[in-house]
Structure 1
């Protein structure tokens, strides 16, 4: 391997899994360590995955390595976002009226969801209903140094709707929490009121956390709603396709 031209060796290394590069290959010899710690290899891997254009230039090794890992790990950290597993993975905080239920889209007096692969939603009742999930960032693969120094964007999205024949209330609260569950940063929407005479359209609400400071270890996602007609059953806010992603 010592006789291989460096560009060829870089090309060969670029086809290996990133975890193997960091944990195994960089221990082979000083030459491999220098290449794996350098910017050129991670820029090449980003280009191979489509995370960077062919015209991109080498910057610091850390920035390209971070870009690569964040893109590879990018996924929705909310479990069971559409209710296909009932209330699995969610904690009921308030269960007013008849509590939470799940229904198939579009539902009575409802509209189709704008994303084809979403087939169900949660629906609240005539008393306030709220539910939450807590995401452990370390357990999801986002290590402390990354969260404290890079502070990657944390993008939160949720979708809500009302029945055409019933008004509803809806709200969203998201907190970034420290190891001791102190609040590092938070977002809370207004309580949104949808009138009884409405089109039943789905609405997206989104918030991006950035420059939130060191210490974020958990994300607490909470949303809730109820109907404003106080009809027995499930005529309140409908929610689905909730998402939390960590992005470059």
Structure 2
């Protein structure tokens, strides 16, 4: 562990602290502290535990994600991005950057999405 913390703080305590910090801070700040913290933050175990604690689960438990960190951030941000539920528009542009997705994250994922809405007649 980091030389100054090695004797004072057990690894399990550091892991618990990291799990209680916001995920984006853990990735952006904590993994830069030292090599050992980077290994903890980058480990699949850290993200599996974080997912379990926050109730984030794969739809098919028999097929766990290859990258638990990517799975966490994709699932954590999952929400309805459509701003209007009404049928007044046929097309809607969603700026993912304004919705909190980083450019690096979008470059890595690079998927296109299509949404369809059922039309209901109201009387």
Q: Please say whether Structure 1 and Structure 2 have the same fold, judged by a TM-score greater than 0.5.
A: yes
Is 1:81 paired with 2:85? yes
TM-score by length of 2: 0.71
Partner Cα separation in structure 1 for residue 80 and residue 21 of structure 2: 25
CA RMSD of aligned residues (A): 3.2
How many residue pairs are counted as aligned between the two chains? Answer: 116
| Greater per-residue strand proportion | 1
Is 1:19 paired with 2:24? yes
Q: Which runs of 5+ in 1 are unaligned?
A: 83-121, 124-129, 165-248
Partner Cα separation in structure 2 for residue 154 and residue 49 of structure 1: 26
Give the greater-gyration-radius structure (CA): 1
Partner Cα separation in structure 1 for residue 65 and residue 12 of structure 2: 17
Is 1:7 paired with 2:9? no
Partner Cα separation in structure 2 for residue 59 and residue 18 of structure 1: 18
User: 1:148, CA displacement in angstroms?
Assistant: 4.1
Q: Which of 35, 46, 51 is 2:51 aligned to?
A: 46
Is 1:154 paired with 2:92? no
TM-score by length of 1: 0.39
Partner Cα separation in structure 1 for residue 112 and residue 19 of structure 2: 26
| Greater per-residue helix proportion | 2
Q: Deviations over 1:141-161 (max 9, x none)?
A: 333443344345736241312
